[in-house]
Amino acid sequence: MPDDTRASLSFQWLPGDSRLQRRFLLGCHGLALAALGQSGLPPLLTAFMGIAVSVSAAAVWRRGGRPKLRRLACHGRDWELVGPNRRVWRGRPLPSTWLSRWLILLHFRLEDGRFLAVPLWCDSLDAGAYRRLQVVLRWYRR
pTM comes to 0.74
Phi, psi of 134 (to 5 degrees): -60, -45
d(Cα 58, Cα 9) in Å, to the nearest integer?
Answer: 41
pLDDT in tens, the chain (142 residues): 344 444 445 667 777 788 888 899 999 999 999 999 999 899 999 999 999 999 999 998 887 667 777 888 887 778 888 887 888 989 988 888 899 999 999 899 999 999 989 888 888 888 888 888 888 888 776 6
CB atoms closer than 10 angstroms to residue 12: 11
Question: Which helix (H) or strand (E) covers residue 102, if one does?
Answer: none
Decide: helix, strand or coil at residue 74.
Answer: strand
Say how many CA atoms lie within 13 Å of 91 toward its Cβ.
19
In angstroms, the CA 46 to CA 140 distance is 47
Least Cα distance to 15 among 106, 100, 90, 92 occurs for 106
